[in-house]
Structure 1
């Protein structure tokens, strides 16, 4: 008889095993044996979500109130058990969606207190977003107790939703030496200086995330909370010798003075307001992500100064930024480059011998197709392109792809093709296929549903490139089964009589395919009949794809 050696492992190792499983699978281990049941009951990662007990609506109010009490009692009972048995709580995660914040604020106070008494290291609290408020704005936000951060064991805190940090934190003289990570999402600050002061009291902070936070505006008018709040104007981060990562969204002016900083992400939020970012002293910066950085036009000179000031920069991502028409990017250190939503670009010249990943995203191509050239590049370089296209853009797709120099750098192309608003769609006329770009992957994320456009779309795509692999979404909202079947029949040559090459001497390249292997993300067996495979697959599987592997 086989012995269960795993159950006899030290509890600390069993806990480590559970931490690597999903929450659902970790809970299931409790039925395996008595040892696993004890392991689960002492597992130091506690995660509570009210919807798992309350369920979904609509439901009778009587049942809702009963389930709400069950949830509150369950959380309290669990935390009391850990405290009374002197069991450690490494992580405490709380997600509340169905409860009134005013109703349960005292319960949350108690839960945080009990978690702190059990040596909690990671605290994650997600509460419902703020809504209408009373005259003072007091009842609809959970006020964070100052004692939460005083826990000497706390290393990471993440707050999200209807939570308020009051000015009382500014009266605290205690330094929170244990805190390494601070993350605030959609949190309300009672004073604009509260968060800056709080950060200054955490000298060993390594990561700071501030997203969509706001400040209570005493001069606001009206009865809605939105009219009494405003965007945070500015924030300064200094005196943080350990700071490695900063992610700020929704603050107009950001000043960072941290020589140890490695990664910085900035999005000002209000696109019409002027914004400012100062980080010149962060000379060890390795990753920079600017998102909707509109107040500065990014020019060729900007890139030269950037790489001069930050010689260690390896990753640069520019998302929806204002740029000049022609830019040159030159760096021996750069490994990752992303340009997204920079629609006015006409030419990009990249001289980066160690670049291994390039990403380009855009809305439409237009008649003036941008030229993207790589003067020096790594043999490992893979360029990924994602485009949102209408039917007219398909006519320019081939020229757009051919403007990548060299062509073999282009590895994958992901397309979202909009449904045409007109009844007629003039397809691309097939040209000589000898110069078509060969790419590793053509990923069709979204295609038209009207069967009238199936052939023009397929012909345009296959007349623009020769992909080694083609994927189609199985989600019926993005791709119909009729389109998948049509695409398959086209590749297998059954639609040859309808093809434009039938009247000419030059044949479409896909009619000469050596073979087509069809699989899907749920089953890699390419010996299954195509129709049988489709019948067995769900139609609303958002992450699943049909995969066509072509033998060219």
Structure 2
């Protein structure tokens, strides 16, 4: 900027003079600024270095953390990998074991697999086993046991235009055709029919003919129909030289023909029409027959069985009109006869001293007839008399007899038993007419005395009946050193006595007693006591030091935890654990129940033993609203 009134030359000189005068101050000022700038630069460098160092540290730390995380992840992966490998190895081992077990089953001989398949009654069910393995499929196609049961056959879903009967016939035709195309023999052919007419009869004749032509060994024809419409059994079967077993139901054997069954061992006729001439013709032509059973057959009045060396067992049940049976068989071991109500049948045994098991249900048999029969069998080991209503006073004496059953002989007034080697005894009746002449060395016994209906369930408090005193005497004669347990059932209550020497029997009608060896385990004992009889109370009489009540309590508690002991869905096959809804221990001193049963239990002296009581509420009692305690 120029000054006014001064020339430019003069101004330049003045400016030069000012710069010269001001130069030292400017220089100092500039130095300070430069120093400040340098300091700032140094500080920035230092801060940058520090930031760089911290950044490096943080980067290093981050890298370390990442490395640690990576190592941890790697370790986890390794661990998981090992676990997976281990699990895979386990699965592999399990699979190998399953495959190995499957291979072991598949390596069974054909004969054993055939036997397993033969136990499956329905052929369709047996066919499903072909999915198990190629081996089972091959064996199934060669199965020589063919069983067709119309009761279990169901038409496949989606099939239209054909009835269930038509589908069943087609299934049999296809199975037989497939079998014969492979040139496979037929060991067993069994047929169960629920519908029968002329058309079915024609088909049956063809099926039976094919089976007979292919060297069949066992044949079973069962027609499950009512009325008089019976199947006319074809003649061709009576000429089979390979047949070993023949089972017929609702068949007619009227045609007289030549019978040649040289290998037949078993003959079962049920609901068949046959007279003595035809049955005689069949039996006499079967020299190897071992087992003969006639059940509810008609047309027979006289059954004569000639001398057959192989005959081991004969059963005759409810054959209408039969008046006489004559058997001559030196090796006969078992004879079982059940007679009709209104007919009397005379039993004649010739040379049958080898008989070991005799079961008689004959409402017309007298004391003398029984005596003559019994003393003709010196080797008899088992005797079962059921519903022999004409028996009044009998004597049973034998050193060989091991099992004796007296059941439902209502008019029996006295039975003198002289059997020192008897091991098992069973009795069912209203009184106790029997008496043992020898010390009782039984291993087991079952007694059912008096009716068990609710109307007759009452206590004999004032006076004990005679049968009750006899029962006490019988139990007192047992060999207590054998260590028995006694199970008593009455109405809806069960008592288990651990020691028979201290008995407190409830004086009531309808008692069912079972004497069991002490070697029987707790679980088996409960199964036998509760399986078919679902009580509301279970009481245990035992010594004070016994652990038995505790074991029973544990078993009852275990039974409530969703038992897996039986897998069948059918209610009849389920065990008592599934039937019981809950079970709990009851304090007899505190219970307020006024029932006669609980009152009797509370009145029993407990000086020498303890009484442990359990309340068992099962599904049946719960369904009808019945409870053991109020």
Q: TM-score with structure 1 length normalisation? A: 0.70
**CA offset digits 1:154-182 (Å, max 9, x no partner):** 10101112x1111x2x332x431111111
Aligned mates of 1:475, 1:8 — CA distance in 2: 36
What RMSD over aligned residues (CA atoms) do the two structures have, in Å?
4.5
Aligned position for 1:76: 173
1:22-101 maps to which residues of 2 (within 5 A)?
A: 26-54=126-154, 65-97=162-194, 99-101=195-197
Aligned position for 1:496: 591
Aligned mates of 2:239, 2:287 — CA distance in 1: 14
Q: 1:506 aligns with which of 593, 605, 626?
A: 605
Q: Does the C-alpha gap of structure 1 residues 22 and 110 become closer, same or farther in structure 2, counting only changes over 3 Å?
A: closer
* CA-CA distance at 1:491 after TM superposition: 5.3
Aligned mates of 1:413, 1:127 — CA distance in 2: 43
* CA-CA distance at 1:349 after TM superposition: 3.4
1:115 paired to 2:214:
no
* Partner SS for 2:438: strand
Aligned mates of 2:297, 2:134 — CA distance in 1: 46
Paired residues of 1:334 and 1:355 also in contact (CA < 8 A) = yes
Higher mean alpha-carbon deviation, 393-402 vs 180-189, is at 393-402
- The size of the alignment, in residue pairs, is 457
Q: Does the C-alpha gap of structure 1 residues 112 and 244 become closer, same or farther in structure 2, counting only changes over 3 Å?
A: same
Q: 1:181 aligns with which of 258, 262, 266?
A: 266
* Partner SS for 2:311: coil
1:205 paired to 2:289:
yes
Aligned mates of 1:414, 1:152 — CA distance in 2: 55
1:318 paired to 2:385:
yes
Paired residues of 2:155 and 2:167 also in contact (CA < 8 A) = no
* CA-CA distance at 1:25 after TM superposition: 7.0
Aligned mates of 1:494, 1:66 — CA distance in 2: 67
1:194 paired to 2:278:
yes
Paired residues of 2:426 and 2:445 also in contact (CA < 8 A) = yes
Q: Does the C-alpha gap of structure 1 residues 416 and 262 become closer, same or farther in structure 2, counting only changes over 3 Å?
A: farther
1:282-293 maps to which residues of 2 (within 5 A)?
A: 282-291=352-361, 293=362
* CA-CA distance at 1:383 after TM superposition: 1.0
Q: 2:403 aligns with which of 333, 336, 343?
A: 336
Paired residues of 1:254 and 1:276 also in contact (CA < 8 A) = yes
Aligned mates of 1:27, 1:354 — CA distance in 2: 51
Paired residues of 1:328 and 1:350 also in contact (CA < 8 A) = yes
Higher RCO, 1 or 2 (CA under 8 Å, sep at least 6)? 1
Q: Does the C-alpha gap of structure 1 residues 508 and 177 become closer, same or farther in structure 2, counting only changes over 3 Å?
A: farther
Q: 1:353 aligns with which of 420, 442, 458?
A: 420
Aligned position for 2:87: none
Aligned mates of 2:127, 2:622 — CA distance in 1: 30
Q: Does the C-alpha gap of structure 1 residues 306 and 194 become closer, same or farther in structure 2, counting only changes over 3 Å?
A: closer
Aligned position for 2:444: 382
* Partner SS for 2:301: strand
Aligned position for 2:345: 275
Question: Structure 2: which 5+ runs fail to align?
Answer: 1-95, 460-464, 493-500, 506-513, 517-524, 542-547, 560-569, 624-630
1:164 paired to 2:252:
yes
Aligned position for 1:254: 325
Q: 1:266 aligns with which of 328, 337, 342?
A: 337
* Partner SS for 1:279: strand
Question: Structure 1: which 5+ runs fail to align?
Answer: 133-139, 216-231, 419-432, 449-453, 519-529, 541-552
Aligned mates of 1:286, 1:186 — CA distance in 2: 28
Q: Does the C-alpha gap of structure 1 residues 373 and 288 become closer, same or farther in structure 2, counting only changes over 3 Å?
A: same
Q: Does the C-alpha gap of structure 1 residues 165 and 307 become closer, same or farther in structure 2, counting only changes over 3 Å?
A: closer
Paired residues of 2:219 and 2:243 also in contact (CA < 8 A) = yes
* CA-CA distance at 1:436 after TM superposition: 2.9
**CA offset digits 1:95-126 (Å, max 9, x no partner):** 111x2332300100011111112221111111
1:436 paired to 2:436:
no
Write 1 or 2 for the structure with the bigger share of helix.
2
* Partner SS for 2:242: coil
Paired residues of 1:351 and 1:376 also in contact (CA < 8 A) = no
Paired residues of 2:294 and 2:315 also in contact (CA < 8 A) = yes
* Partner SS for 1:188: coil
Paired residues of 1:93 and 1:125 also in contact (CA < 8 A) = yes
**CA offset digits 1:177-205 (Å, max 9, x no partner):** 1111111000123x442222222222221
Q: 1:295 aligns with which of 364, 371, 394?
A: 364
Higher alpha-carbon Rg: 2
* CA-CA distance at 1:236 after TM superposition: 0.6
Paired residues of 2:187 and 2:218 also in contact (CA < 8 A) = yes
Paired residues of 1:203 and 1:239 also in contact (CA < 8 A) = no
Aligned mates of 2:347, 2:366 — CA distance in 1: 13
Aligned mates of 2:109, 2:261 — CA distance in 1: 33
Aligned mates of 2:424, 2:601 — CA distance in 1: 40
Aligned mates of 1:324, 1:33 — CA distance in 2: 61
Aligned mates of 2:621, 2:215 — CA distance in 1: 46
* CA-CA distance at 1:356 after TM superposition: 2.1
* Partner SS for 1:496: coil
Aligned position for 1:549: none
**CA offset digits 1:506-541 (Å, max 9, x no partner):** 35999633x97x9xxxxxxxxxxx88xx68x9999x
1:370 paired to 2:370:
no
Paired residues of 1:389 and 1:415 also in contact (CA < 8 A) = no
Aligned mates of 1:256, 1:505 — CA distance in 2: 57
Aligned mates of 1:279, 1:491 — CA distance in 2: 59
Aligned position for 1:526: none
